[in-house]
Amino acid sequence: MSEIDALEDSNIIISDDMITFVGGNTELESYLQKNNIKEIAEFDASGKVIMPGFVDSHTHFVFAGSREDEYEMRLAGKSYQEIAETGGGIWSTVTNVRQSDKNELKSLAAKKLATFFSYGTTTLEGKSGYGLDIENELKMLDIINSLNSSNEFGIDIVPTFLGAHSIPREMSKESYVDLICNEMIPSVAKAHLSKYIDIFIEKGYFDVNDADRILGEGVKHGLTPRTHIDQFTSMGGTEISLKHGAVSLDHLEVMSDEDIKLMAKYNESAERKTVAGLLPGVSYFLGISYTPGRKLIDAGVPVLIATDFNPGSCMSQNMQLMMSLASTQIKMTAEEIINAVTINPAYSLGLDHKVGSIERGKQADLLIFDMPSYKYLIYNFGVNNLEFVVKKGKFFNVNEITSSLSN
Ligand code: NIG
Ligand code: FE
């Protein structure tokens, strides 16, 4: 977590969408000679900082409508759970998503992507979970897959099936769990709409027994779990997620010391290690406790930081803001934070061979910041220090993206 291998006075060569060289001036000369490269378009990044593109491995970016009315109710004293009980919360977004046609929903999502990108996110995960019936869950996954095949910036997007986000009003929990297991999971797997399966384990949503069935069925169909646990209630989410080989345990705001030990122990022998997903924007937005990230890191558990961008618990696509919160609220160092927004989330998505670091042979996804050192990014908070985003070798000017955004 604490090593980032920062280089100074270095050069990067990009060929098409790939990084083909990283190194100092002498190595550069011999590389150019050896490969008989005579002409090269240069970008002078003297005095700037180049980082790998951010990987946001937990988002709910496909949705319709917004919930600023709930935000106000919370400020007046109502809790997230109380609002959900009276018909707000996830259910209000489900109603909007069901009423939106596919094209409408897709263009709303595409707009959200531009904002992510302007703050440095070049790879992101996106969940279903606002459909809660077959038609609308598949509709959401279709949109995510089609945006992955084609979007304005070439952002890589990984879909996750989150049918078990909440219980739809029209049926009992038991019938809905049956529907997820008997119909939704097989349909998602058959159409290759997602490699991942998620569940919200929480009081009033799904419990450990539901998770055992749903995750078990998902794994049987080739889906890998990444889960929402311990947001408000510590209720056995860690153990059940690990039982099914989850690659990312997210939220963890009220995680117990025992569960931290369980995660660390699991990773000692796990082939694919599990990463703790910190979502500091949720703690900030809902005014709840921050995940014990320091304890997790000190116990040897790798952590990642994600936005959890969604209309109810974190309405922000800004990864740089999450980095600032992880620093001031969780006391993570600049190096830990950089790993937590690049290589660790890439690993949790099974994409660490391709993105998450600046290495020869990886995709050319780079962020160019106008700042004197990498530590400056969390120090100069609340502004966008990003000048250029390079995605698959293509340069985008951040000012131009920002001025084209109208919210
Ligand atoms: O990750 N916790 C559950 N799901 C989302 C919130 C979804 C919503 O409120 O719309 C989350 O926080
Ligand atoms: Fe979430």
Task: Provide the pLDDT for residue 338.
Answer: 98
Q: 247 C-alpha to center of ligand 2: Å?
A: 15
- Candidate from 165, 313, 315, 322 with most ligand 1 atoms within 8 A of CB, to mutate: 313
Tokens of 142: 């279709």
Burial code (b: 16+ CB inside 10 Å, e: under 16) for 223-261 equals: bbbbbbbbbbbbbbbbebbbbbebbbbbbbbbbeeebbe
Q: What is the pLDDT of residue 69?
A: 94
Top mutation candidate among 82, 93, 200 for ligand 1, by most atoms within 8 Å of CB: 200
What are the start-end ranges of the H helices in 88-133? 90-99, 102-118
Q: Is the separation of the CB atoms in 141 and 159 below 8 Å?
A: yes
Ligand 1 binding pocket (C-beta < 6 A) is 60, 89-90, 93, 200, 228, 231, 282, 308, 310-313
Per-residue pLDDT at 405: 85
Chunked into runs of 10 residues, the chain (407 residues) has average pLDDT values of: 96 97 96 94 96 99 96 93 92 98 98 98 98 98 98 98 98 98 98 98 98 98 98 98 98 98 98 97 97 98 98 98 98 98 98 98 98 97 97 97 81
Closest residue (by CA) to atom 5 of ligand 1?
Answer: 313
Closest ligand 1 atom, CA of 80? 9
Ligand with minimal distance to 306 CA? 2
Per CATH, is 54-348 categorized as 3.40.630.30?
Answer: no
pLDDT on residue 87? 85
Q: What is the pLDDT of residue 406?
A: 65
What atom in ligand 1 is closest to the CA of residue 90?
10
- Cα separation of 11 and 27, whole Å? 9
Task: Tell me how far the alpha carbon of residue 220 lies from the centroid of ligand 2, in angstroms.
Answer: 23
Model pTM greater than 0.95? yes
From its phi and psi, is residue 172 left (phi > 0), alpha (psi between -120 and 50) or beta?
A: beta
For the CA of 89, the nearest atom of ligand 1: 9
- Read off the tokens for 3: 């090593």
Residue nearest atom 8 of ligand 1, based on CA coordinates: 312
Cβ-Cβ contacts under 8 Å for 354 (sequence gap 6 or more)? 346, 362, 363
**Residue for token digits 């690659």?**
247
Q: Which ligand 1 atom is the nearest neighbour of the CA of 93?
A: 10
Q: Give ion ligand 2 contacts, CB < 5 A.
A: 308
Distance between Cα 89 and ligand 2 center (Å): 13
Query: 7 CA to middle of ligand 2, Å?
Result: 35
**Longest Cα–Cα distance in the chain:** 69
Q: Which of 310, 314, 316, 322 to mutate to test the pocket of ligand 1 (most atoms within 8 A of CB)?
A: 310
